[in-house]
Amino acid sequence: MKPTTRIQLATMMFLNFFLWGIWFVTMGTYLGARLNASGVQIGIAYGTQSLGAIIAPFIIGLIADRYFAAQFILGVLHLCGAALLYFVSLQTSFTDFYPYLLSYMIVYMPTLALVNAISFKQMQNAEKEFSLIRMWGTIGWIAAGLLIGWLALEKNQQLDQTFRIAAGVSLALGVFSFMLPHTPPPKAGTRANLGEIIGLDALRLLKDKNFLIFFLSSLLICIPLAFYYQETNMFLNELGMASAASKMTMGQMSETIFLFLMPLFFARLGVKKMLLIGMAAWVLRYLLFSYGTMDSGLWMLYAGIILHGICYDFFFVTGQIYTDQLAGEKIRSSAQGMITLATYGVGMLIGFWFAGYIADQYKTANGHDWASIWMVPALIAGVILLLFALLFKDPVKK
The confidence band for 60, taking pLDDT boundaries of 50, 70 and 90, is low
Cα(317)–Cα(265) distance, integer angstroms: 12
Percent helix, strand, coil in the chain (nearest 5)? 80, 0, 20
Measuring CA to CA, how many Å separate 101 from each of 55, 94, 182?
A: 14, 10, 30
Assigned superfamily of 1-178: MFS general substrate transporter like domains (1.20.1250.20)
User: What average pLDDT does the segment 120-133 reach?
Assistant: 76
Cα(54)–Cα(57) distance, integer angstroms: 7
> Domain spans of the chain?
1-178, 201-398
Cα(328)–Cα(101) distance, integer angstroms: 37
Q: Give residue 288's region: left, alpha or beta (phi > 0; psi -120 to 50).
A: alpha
Q: What is the DSSP letter of 398?
A: -
Say if 1-178 and 201-398 have the same CATH topology.
yes
Beta carbons of 174 and 68 less than 8 angstroms apart: no
pLDDT digits (tens, 9 = 90+) for 241-278: 998 999 999 998 998 888 778 778 877 888 889 889 99
User: What average pLDDT does the segment 358-376 reach?
Assistant: 94
Q: In this structure, what are the phi and psi dihedrals at residue 363, rounded to the nearest 5 degrees? A: -75, 140
Beta carbons of 136 and 14 less than 8 angstroms apart: yes
Q: In this structure, what are the phi and psi dihedrals at residue 367, rounded to the nearest 5 degrees? A: 145, -110
Q: What is the CATH number of domain 201-398?
A: 1.20.1250.20
Cα(161)–Cα(88) distance, integer angstroms: 11
Measuring CA to CA, how many Å separate 276 from each of 218, 222, 363, 382, 390?
A: 12, 15, 32, 10, 11
User: What average pLDDT does the segment 125-136 reach?
Assistant: 77
DSSP string computed for 49-88:
HHHHHHHHHHHIIIIITTTS-HHHHHHHHHHHHHHHHHHH
The confidence band for 66, taking pLDDT boundaries of 50, 70 and 90, is low
Question: What value does the mean pLDDT of the chain take?
Answer: 87
Within 8 A by CB and 6+ apart from 365, the residues are none
